[in-house]
Chain A
Amino acid sequence: MKELVKALKESVRDLTPIALVVVFFQLIVLQQPFPELFRMLMGVLMVVLGLTLFVHGLRTGLFPIGEGMAYDFARKGSLIWLLLFAFMLGFGTTVAEPALIAVADEAATVAVEGGMIENSDESHASYAFGLRLTVAISVGFAILVGVFRIIKGWPVQYLIIGGYLGVVIMTAFAPEEIIGIAYDSGGVTTSTITVPLVTALGVGLASSISGRNPMIDGFGLIAFASLTPMIFVMGYGMLL
Chain B
Amino acid sequence: MTDIINTLVATVRDVLPIAVILFGFQFLVLRRRIPHLKRVLSGFGFVLVGLAFFLLGLEEALFPIGKLMAQQLTDPAFLGIDVAAISDEVAKHWYAYYWVYIFAFMIGFATTVAEPSLIAVAIKASEVSGGAIQPWGLRIAVAIGVAVGISLGAFRIVTGTPLHFYIIAGYIVVIIQTIFAPRSIIALAYDSGGVTTSTVTVPLVAALGLGLSATVPGRNPLLDGFGLIAFASLFPIITVMGYAQLGEWQARRKRKIPEDA
| B199 and A192 contact, CB distance less than 8 A | yes
A151, CB-defined interface residue at 8 Å? no
| A213 and B233 contact, CB distance less than 8 A | no
B250, CB-defined interface residue at 8 Å? no
Bitwise, A32-57 to B at CB < 8 A (1) or not (0) is 00110001111111111111111111
B85, CB-defined interface residue at 8 Å? no
Bitwise, B111-147 to A at CB < 8 A (1) or not (0) is 1011011011101110011000000000000000000
A170 to chain B, nearest CB (A): 10
Our pick among A20, A190, A219, A225 for the contact of B117 (Cβ within 8 Å) is A190
B167, CB-defined interface residue at 8 Å? yes
Complex Cα spacing A176 to B48, Å? 40
Q: In the complex, given contacts A25-B103, A69-B26, what are 5 additional A-B residue pairs having Cβ atoms less than 8 angstroms apart?
A: A68-B34, A76-B29, A168-B164, A179-B163, A186-B194
Bitwise, B9-22 to A at CB < 8 A (1) or not (0) is 01001110110111
- CB contact under 8 A between A51 and B39, given known A43-B62, A57-B44, A99-B198: no
| A81 and B59 contact, CB distance less than 8 A | no
Complex Cα spacing A123 to B58, Å? 34
Interface residues on B, range: 35 or more
A93, CB-defined interface residue at 8 Å? yes
Question: Which residue on chain A has the smallest CB distance to residue B61?
Answer: A43
Complex Cα spacing A237 to B120, Å? 34
Pick 30 A–B contacts, CB within 8 A, sort by A.
Answer: A17-B110, A18-B107, A18-B111, A30-B72, A40-B61, A47-B54, A50-B54, A52-B50, A56-B43, A58-B43, A58-B123, A62-B120, A63-B123, A76-B29, A88-B21, A92-B17, A92-B21, A160-B190, A179-B164, A180-B163, A180-B227, A184-B226, A184-B229, A187-B230, A188-B229, A190-B195, A191-B14, A196-B117, A196-B121, A223-B191
| A85 and B34 contact, CB distance less than 8 A | no
Interface residues on A, range: 35 or more
- CB contact under 8 A between A45 and B57, given known A69-B26, A168-B168, A193-B47: yes
Complex Cα spacing A225 to B60, Å? 31
Main SS class of interface, A: helix
B207, CB-defined interface residue at 8 Å? no
| A225 and B124 contact, CB distance less than 8 A | no
Main SS class of interface, B: helix
Complex Cα spacing A26 to B66, Å? 9
| B194 and A187 contact, CB distance less than 8 A | yes
Complex Cα spacing A219 to B138, Å? 14
| A69 and B110 contact, CB distance less than 8 A | no
Our pick among A22, A53, A177, A213 for the contact of B65 (Cβ within 8 Å) is A22
4 interchain residue pairs of minimum CB distance: A61-B43, A43-B61, A57-B46, A53-B50
Complex Cα spacing A176 to B33, Å? 51
Our pick among A14, A61, A194, A214 for the contact of B47 (Cβ within 8 Å) is A61
B232, CB-defined interface residue at 8 Å? yes
Count chain B CB atoms within 10 A of each CB in A57, A191, A194 and give the residue with the most.
A57
Among B156-203, those with CB < 8 Å from A are: 163-164, 167-168, 171, 174-175, 178, 183-184, 186-188, 190-191, 193-200, 202
* Chain A contact residues, CB within 8 Å of chain B: 14-15, 17-18, 20-22, 24-26, 29-30, 34-35, 39-65, 68-69, 72-73, 76, 78, 81, 85, 88-89, 92-93, 95-99, 109-110, 113, 156-157, 160-161, 164, 167-168, 171, 176-177, 179-181, 183-184, 186-188, 190-197, 199-200, 203, 207, 213-226
Complex Cα spacing A188 to B193, Å? 12
Residues of B with C-beta under 8 A to A63: 123-124
B66 to chain A, nearest CB (A): 7
Residues of A with C-beta under 8 A to B36: 64
B91, CB-defined interface residue at 8 Å? no
Complex Cα spacing A190 to B191, Å? 11
A205 to chain B, nearest CB (A): 12
- CB contact under 8 A between A43 and B116, given known A22-B66, A58-B123, A160-B190: no
Residues of B with C-beta under 8 A to A64: 35-36, 39-40, 43
